[in-house]
């Protein structure tokens, strides 16, 4: 699997996900401003990948700074963090990634570190986060594999795979781990309009792993569930509130209700950096509204009449009551989620190494 993103001496190299599946091309971001553009334009997307990308964006901003005084650098860090924080509002991982580098910067300044030491440390921390993300995905796979059908079809929505993380994937990581442990699973991938993460990205990455994959339109899942074609649903997440309400790609909420109606388990797989204890319920999760042209056009060709109204919320919120379990690298959370999240938060956690 080719890397979603990679720290290079020349900058942060991103696989251009807007060009997949027909072109495998890369975008090299050499400044924090260019990293912000890559995130905003969804050249890189997916909550965990966004989090590490933002961390690398802060790190490259500090590393490439020309300033010679700590006061001036601290003023720059504020601008760098604000620029990256303004890219996309829903995935809490973005703010987690920015905050982890910013907190390290502040600790180093308070400890009297010089600029050269700070630059080295923030780059190392961002690269460490990259490794931790891959390790977290593999841990999620290890925890979640047993929840997957021994034999059967799993529906997924959007892309929560290697392309949404630093590698291996969250929801798709659980599917990969189950297959590695002998499960016979094929995947149904919702195309996931309008950005088509399922049709373009999930299908592309699973076929590279020789995992049998079928793409369906977003209005087909209910019919296939009613025919007994789906044994489980697993999706990623962009922000999980303290009560387990989960924001994910638009359309996830509808799938969760269909799964409930048909008695099909509905799993969420997400690293702990997706859990936002400061947001008490799903009502508090900001939903990104994206450009109307994502809906009105396909491959640059207009599909709707001029002047028609357009809705394009990029996410929706699945109430916790529709979530069978939340698979994290720390273990599996079950309802009542307020209690299980609080209990798992209190547990001492080892540092993950990939
Ligand atoms: C591994 S979670 C990825 C998560 O992010 C996606 O959103 P986007 O493609 O807009 O960044 C989608 O919600 C996925 O489930």
261-314 pLDDT per residue, tens:
999 999 999 999 999 999 999 999 999 999 999 999 999 999 999 999 999 999
- pTM of the prediction? 0.97
Q: Tell me, using a 6 A CB cutoff, whether residue 314 lines ligand 1.
A: yes
Query: Which of ligand 1's atoms lies nearest the C-alpha of 314?
Result: 10
Strands 11-15, 26-29: pairing is antiparallel
Q: Tell me, using a 6 A CB cutoff, whether residue 158 lines ligand 1.
A: yes
Residue closest to 83 by CA, chosen among 134, 14, 32, 122: 32
Pocket residue to mutate for ligand 1, from 160, 285, 287, most atoms within 8 A of Cβ: 160
Q: Which residues are annotated as a binding site?
A: 45-47, 88, 197, 248-249
pLDDT at 353 over 80: no
Q: Tell me, using a 6 A CB cutoff, whether residue 165 lines ligand 1.
A: yes
- Give the model's pLDDT for residue 348: 73
Q: Tell me, using a 6 A CB cutoff, whether residue 46 lines ligand 1.
A: yes
Question: Which residues contact residue 280 at a Cβ distance below 8 angstroms, ignoring those fewer than 6 apart?
Answer: 241, 242, 243
The highest-level CATH class for domain 5-138 is: mainly alpha
Q: How confident is the model at residue 349 (pLDDT cuts 50, 70, 90)?
A: confident
CB 203, CB 21: distance < 8 Å: yes
Mean residue pLDDT of the chain comes to: 97
Residue closest to 123 by CA, chosen among 30, 58, 65, 33: 58
Question: Which residues contact residue 303 at a Cβ distance below 8 angstroms, ignoring those fewer than 6 apart?
Answer: 296, 297
Question: Which residues contact residue 52 at a Cβ distance below 8 angstroms, ignoring those fewer than 6 apart?
Answer: 5, 97, 126, 129, 130, 133, 166
Tell me, yes or no, if 238 is annotated catalytic.
yes
Find tokens 């540092």 and name the residue. 351
Cα angle value 330/240/175 (rounded, 5°)? 55
Q: Same CATH fold, 139-346 and 5-138?
A: no
Q: How confident is the model at residue 243 (pLDDT cuts 50, 70, 90)?
A: very high
CB 8, CB 28: distance < 8 Å: yes
Query: Which of ligand 1's atoms lies nearest the C-alpha of 50?
Result: 11
Query: Which of ligand 1's atoms lies nearest the C-alpha of 160?
Result: 1
Pocket residue to mutate for ligand 1, from 158, 176, 193, 313, most atoms within 8 A of Cβ: 158
Domain boundaries, the chain: 5-138, 139-346
Residue closest to 142 by CA, chosen among 337, 303, 331, 333: 331
Q: Which residues are annotated as a binding site for substrate?
A: 45-47, 88, 197, 248-249
pLDDT digits (tens, 9 = 90+) for 261-275: 999 999 999 999 999
| Cα Dmax for the chain | 67
Query: Which of ligand 1's atoms lies nearest the C-alpha of 288?
Result: 10
CATH of 139-346, one of 3.40.50.720, 3.40.50.2020, 3.40.50.10470, 3.40.50.1370: 3.40.50.10470
Find tokens 């005084």 and name the residue. 69
Average pLDDT over residues 247-268: 98
pLDDT at 127 over 60: yes
Q: Tell me, using a 6 A CB cutoff, whether residue 173 lines ligand 1.
A: no
Strands 246-249, 315-318: pairing is antiparallel
Neighbour count for residue 79 (Cβ, 10 Å): 12
Catalytic residue, from 218, 238, 245, 276: name it: 238
Residue nearest to atom 8 of ligand 1 (CA): 46
State percent of the chain over pLDDT 70: 98
Burial of 301 (0-12, 13-18, 19+ CB in 10 A): exposed
């Amino acid at each position: 699997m080719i890397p979603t993103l990679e720290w290079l001496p020349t900058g942060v190299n991103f696989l251009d996900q807007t060009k997949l599946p027909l072109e495998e091309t890369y975008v090299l971001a050499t400044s924090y401003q260019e990293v912000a553009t890559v995130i905003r334009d969804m050249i890189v997307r997916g909550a965990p990948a966004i989090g590490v990308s933002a961390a690398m964006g802060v790190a490259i901003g500090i590393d490439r700074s020309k300033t010679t005084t700590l006061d001036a650098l601290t003023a720059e860090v504020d601008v760098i963090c604000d620029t990256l924080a303004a890219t996309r509002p829903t995935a809490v991982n973005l703010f987690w990634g920015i905050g982890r580098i910013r907190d390290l910067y502040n600790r180093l300044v308070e400890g009297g570190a010089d600029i050269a030491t700070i630059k080295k440390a923030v780059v190392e921390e961002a690269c460490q986060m990259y490794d931790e993300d891959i390790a977290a995905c593999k841990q999620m796979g290890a925890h979640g594999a047993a929840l997957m059908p021994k034999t059967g079809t799993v529906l997924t929505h959007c892309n929560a795979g290697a392309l949404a993380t630093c590698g291996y994937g969250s929801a798709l990581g659980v599917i990969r781990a189950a297959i590695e442990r002998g499960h016979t699973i094929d995947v149904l991938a919702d195309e996931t309009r309008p950005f088509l993460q399922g049709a373009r990205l999930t299908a592309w990455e699973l076929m590279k792993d020789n995992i049998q994959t079928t793409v369906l339109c977003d209005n087909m899942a209910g019919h296939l569930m009613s025919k007994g074609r789906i044994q489980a649903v697993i999706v990623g997440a962009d922000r999980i509130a303290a009560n387990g309400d989960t924001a994910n790609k638009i359309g996830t909420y509808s799938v969760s209700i269909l799964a409930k109606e048909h008695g099909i388990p509905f799993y969420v797989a997400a690293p702990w950096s997706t859990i936002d204890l400061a947001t008490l319920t799903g009502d508090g999760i900001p939903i990104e509204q994206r450009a109307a042209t994502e809906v009105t056009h396909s491959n640059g060709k207009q599909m709707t009449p001029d002047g028609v109204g357009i809705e394009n919320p990029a996410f929706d919120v699945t109430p916790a009551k529709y979530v069978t379990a939340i698979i994290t690298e720390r273990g599996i959370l079950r309802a009542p989620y307020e209690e299980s999240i609080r209990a798992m938060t209190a547990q001492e956690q080892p540092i993950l190494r990939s």
